[in-house]
Amino acid sequence: MSGSDSPVALVTGSAKRLGKQIICRLHQAGYRVIIHFNHSADAASSLADSLNQQRPNSALTLQANLLDNKAVAQLGTAALSCFGRLDVLVNNASSFYPTPLASATLENWDDLFGSNVKAPYFLAQALAPALSNNNGCIINMVDIHASQPLQDHSIYCMAKAALLMMTKSLARELAPTIRVNGIAPGAILWPSQQLAEADKAEILQQIPLQRTGTPDDIANTVLFLLQSPYISGQIIAVDGGRSLGAAQKA
Identify the band that residue 30 occupies on the pLDDT scale cut at 50, 70 and 90.
Answer: very high
Q: How far is the first Cα of the chain from the last one, in angstroms, to the nearest whole number?
A: 56
Identify the band that residue 191 occupies on the pLDDT scale cut at 50, 70 and 90.
Answer: low
Catalytic residues: 156
Q: What is the mean predicted confidence (pLDDT) over 158-165? A: 98
The region that residue 222 occupies, defined by phi over 0 for left and psi between -120 and 50 for alpha, beta otherwise, is alpha
pLDDT of 8 higher than 80: yes
pLDDT of 2 higher than 50: no
Identify the band that residue 192 occupies on the pLDDT scale cut at 50, 70 and 90.
Answer: low
pLDDT of 227 higher than 50: yes
- What residues contact residue 69 under an 8 Å CB cut-off, 6+ apart? 122
Vertex 104: Cα angle to 101 and 107 (nearest 5): 155
Query: Percent of the chain at pLDDT above 70?
Result: 94
Are 93 and 62 in contact by the 8 Å Cβ rule? The answer is no
Strand order of the β-sheet with 137-141 is: 59-63, 32-37, 8-11, 88-91, 137-141, 179-185, 235-238
Q: What is the mean predicted confidence (pLDDT) over 132-137? A: 98
Identify the band that residue 12 occupies on the pLDDT scale cut at 50, 70 and 90.
Answer: very high
- 37 φ, ψ (degrees, to nearest 5): -145, 165
Spatial separation of the C-alpha atoms in residues 10 and 165, rounded to whole Å: 22
Residues comprising the chain, all counted: 250
Identify the band that residue 242 occupies on the pLDDT scale cut at 50, 70 and 90.
Answer: confident
Query: Percent of the chain at pLDDT above 90?
Result: 83
Give the residue, 109 or 1, on which the prediction is more confident: 109
Beta bridge partners of 91: 140
CATH class assigned to 3-240:
alpha beta
Beta bridge partners of 179: 137
Map out the domains of the chain as residue ranges: 3-240
Sequence letter at residue 250: A
Vertex 218: Cα angle to 214 and 223 (nearest 5): 135
User: Residue 220, exposed/middle/buried by CB under 10 A (0-12, 13-18, 19+)?
Assistant: middle
For residue 212, give the DSSP letter. -
Q: What is the mean predicted confidence (pLDDT) over 33-61? A: 98
Spatial separation of the C-alpha atoms in residues 66 and 75, rounded to whole Å: 9
Round the average pLDDT of the chain to a whole number and report it.
93
Least confident of 131-135, 183-187, 221-225: 183-187
Strands, E assignment, 92-221: 137-141, 179-185
Give the residue, 205 or 142, on which the prediction is more confident: 142
